[in-house]
Structure 1
């Protein structure tokens, strides 16, 4: 005969952190009691479904509020219990202006802007606290450049919601070029007076062909961070074609910017190195 002491089998699951932010984790514990005091199996499931575990105290990382149910077997009987982990969503930080006709959307985190323009970046989420990479703690910052030449600027901001306790970061890279100006010095990505090939280049070697231009012409290469890494001057006779090679084989994979400038035009080309 088997004698069971300690009352009927029961389970009272808890979460160490019952309220978390998205992308965080917490441990859930079964905490069985009574029955035989020898708990042989634990079987966890979730609602919404997708999580299972046979551990007594698993770690979970739900993306939305989730109910976890555990079934405990002590060799004779089973008992079930549930615990809820509430998930607060992170602040949504979208720094790229959506309705500004001056802004050219390159990607969700990259925009183009005329070198003469200034732009207000907003971290949104009123009532939050803000920490920008330039030191500002305001909801918005104004950005711009000298208006003289090509520039690349990158900004990050950390947004903290004091109500939920959750934080999230946003980032944006702004390319200031004449290409995005509707006035001033002409600059067009489609300008066929500058031909660069192959692009992408697997060796970091780009052939340059210039025609339809004349006079002293500057060729400058910048990294994605705006650092000048190569510069040369060529003199083009009227009616002639200029051919050269741009050697960037030691620069590593990634993208760069070639700026051609003379007294007639400024042309920007994005160069891509994809070495294997």
Structure 2
């Protein structure tokens, strides 16, 4: 990462105040419960109505996970929308959906991509050979080949932070409170309540992947392929496999 980009990220990430924590979540989040099932099933709810497109989440992720230049584990795609002669912008935060049925796993020839008991999908880059089969299999354009490690890369819900009882960096840094993270197995968690009460939507439900990233206030036109080009803030046109550089959600 060059110095100018790192300095920009440091400045933009200054909104983070302290380290927010997950309520009553011990380290070792992947440990099984008493009934043999996972003690937790982590998920995220994104309230699109609260997203202001500031990209604080994107910058926080870059800094927390040392994401290489022009690649992104999460990003807010910003679209210019014109309806009935009026123009406006639409913000769509995007990341790995940590699906219940992740299509990236069965295509991996080495087993580098796998799902933890708590639902978080991760990549073992000591085993990954960089074949990019998983990149092609992901219907959400959420994966890329890290040009430094030459292995598959993606959002992990900041698994190292979650295991320590902390929130993912993007959630902690979101200035509008648009990202909510928690345990679907806990009926009292904010995530569980929002999923029950707000009838959130998921991206590309026709894929049958059962995403565990839910959207409140999602315009149905943005659930599938978007006919248009992301505007304002986006990666270089010359970057391969950057998740927000494509023209669909």
TM-score band, normalised by the shorter chain? under 0.3
- Report the TM-score when normalising by structure 2: 0.23
Q: Structure 1 or 2: larger strand share?
A: 1
Q: Structure 1 or 2: larger helix share?
A: 2
The one of the two structures with greater contact order (alpha-carbon pairs below 8 A, sep at least 6) is 2
- Report the TM-score when normalising by structure 1: 0.22
